[in-house]
Amino acid sequence: MNTFGDILLTAVAGVTLLAVPASPGNPGSAQPGDRPAGLAAAAGLPHQYAALVVRNGSTANSFRDRLVIRDTATGRNIAARLAPRPANSFCDLTGTPDGRTFVAEACKVTVVPLDGGVEVARPVRYYRLTVDGQGHVGRLRPLRIPVPSISSMDGATVSPGGRKLAVASADHRGFLAHNPAIRLYNLGTGRLLRTWRWAGRADIIGRNGIDDGSIDPLSWTADGRTIAFPLMTGPEQEKTQVRLLEVAAPGSNLRRSRPVVNLGTGPGFFEEGFSGELDGPDSMITPDGSRVVASTATEAGTGPNSTTRLTVSEFSVRTGARVAVLHSVTSADSPFFYLQVLWSSPDGRAVIAVGGKGYGLAKPIDIMTGGGFTPLPGETDRIDQLAF
């Protein structure tokens, strides 16, 4: 049986998702001759994407000291940028769907000598990196947008036009989060444009001060009018839903955002064993605004006999109903895994996702073309986060 750490995932709306095991010799590296001509064009992907690379020998999700820009069709590194001092790592990465603008959050990682060392990442600054029409990569340019503190960071997502940055945060001091907020900034000037806040106990699912998971909590429609975000509510934040925020609508109360999908009830923060939807799913809205694609997990049983089912589903934004199961796989492996929904084509018909297990490195992506499934070309062993 395939485990989640071995599965490469790609979904196409309305088509059953297939799981393709990574090759045992060199997972995720396409061999010469395996890649069909015109891969990027056939899949509708941008010409380039960005990735964070983990320093050799370091633990995953820390000391991601290099940001690389890669050619999607060949896997060739076009450019590499080191984290600017005083930062020594990157904590987050987002990009526009056309692969022309990327925003990275640089951070300072230190090791606290507790039981073998605990790595703590403190945000330093946001940087913008652009790629022109000829594929020339600019330098990392610092932004004036303030980064949330370590106790409140959740993630940031650049708008489709590359002119705005939406930043999600919440107060993570303690076991449960409070007062989640979404702030919208002008990317060029750093000016704060809007703030929406949810007063009380709730959490926007994303990164936090406890771990550096690379889930992007926010996603945009192609017209830049709507932001989708997953929210955990309830006494122990065990209820998960996806909500829509209309950017141009008046008001600053995040509670007025529209709930569109209920992903079920998970374990809450304090319960170790559970049966039900995992309380940290990843989701995104398709650019056309018609569907939400979400990955969820359900565990059955306890101890060595437990199994976990990972499901990638499409939900209707209009009705909130599940309209398609794109993929479902059951594993006896550890339930501590994730699947990140990375990218959707401009017409909303192709959805690309990448799977990983525990706090390990991101796994490579399968690209679906007319000829079938092909691993994303290039070395991916030390890739920890990607942005398309």
Helical (H) or strand (E) element with 352:
strand 350-357
Residue 159 one-letter amino acid: S
* 386/388 Cα distance (integer angstroms): 7
Of the candidates 365, 379, 380, which has an alpha carbon nearest to the alpha carbon of residue 40?
365
Of 34-38, 205-209, 256-260, 313-317, which has the strongest mean pLDDT? 256-260
Size of the chain in residues: 388
**DSSP label at residue 361:** P
The alpha carbon of residue 18 and the mean position of all alpha carbons in its chain are separated, in whole angstroms, by: 20
pLDDT average, residue stretch 99-127: 82
* Higher-pLDDT residue of 89, 237: 89
Residue-wise pLDDT tens digits, 167-205:
998 887 677 888 999 999 999 999 999 999 999 998 887
pTM of the entire predicted model: 0.82
How far is Cα 74 from Cα 84, in angstroms, rounded to an integer? Answer: 28
Residue 332 has pLDDT above 60, yes or no: yes
Q: Is the pLDDT of residue 313 over 50?
A: yes
Please report the domains of the chain, with CATH numbers, ordered by start residue.
Answer: 4-29+43-387 (2.120.10.30)
State residue 353's pLDDT score: 58
At residue 228, the 3 state secondary structure works out as strand
